[in-house]
Amino acid sequence: MTSVLFVCLGNICRSPLAEGALRAAAERAGLDIVVDSAGTGDWHVGAPPDRRAQAAARRHGVDISGLRARQVRPEDFRRFDHVLALDDQNLRDLMAIAPADGTAEVRLLMDYVPGREGSSVADPYFGTDRDFDTTWAEVRAAADALVGRLGRRFPKSAGTM
C-alpha cells in the first residue's frame, strides 16, 4: 500500500488540508493509501487544524477536525513512500533532516500538478477564509493528480472496493 506524508510548517493549515483532500480523492477512486501530515516546526503539536482550514474542508464535504498536529520525525522518511512538502522552505528543511537511510521520495506536492511544478501551495495562515479556499483548491488539484498517478501505478485489484 502506498503511503504519503504531507509537510508544512506548523501542520495546522496546508498539510491537514492536503491530507483531507487526498483521503477524499483516494476514497472516490477506490484506492487504499496511507495518508498523514506533519509540520517541520513544533509550535502546534497536539492542536487541531486551524478553524478556517476545518471550515474550508467542510465546505467541500471533508472533515479534518479529528486531525492533530505533529512534528515530522526521522522514521517518517522510512515509513512513508512519499514525503511531500507544501513549499520550498519546508522542502529544504526536510532534505536537511532526512536520515541517510531514508527511503521516501521527498519533493514538492505541486510537482504533481501539470504547469505548477516547482511551485508552493499558498500559505493561508495570515489570510482570510478566501485564502483557505484558494489553498483547498490547490491541494485538491494536487490530490487528484496524485491519485491519478498512483492509480495508474497501483490499479485496484479484483475484489477490492
Q: Which residues are catalytic?
A: 8, 14, 123
Strands (E), 33-98: 33-39, 82-85
Block residue for cell numbers 483531507: 20
Can you spell out the DSSP letters for 104-152?
SEEEEGGGGSTT-TTPPPP--TTS-HHHHHHHHHHHHHHHHHHHHHHHH
Check: CB of residue 56 under 8 Å from CB of residue 132: yes
Helix (H, G, I), strand (E, B) or coil at 2: strand
Beta bridge partners of 108: 85
Check: CB of residue 27 under 8 Å from CB of residue 68: no
Q: What are phi and psi of 58, to 5 degrees?
A: -60, -35
**CA nearest neighbour of 76 among 101, 40, 104, 43:** 104
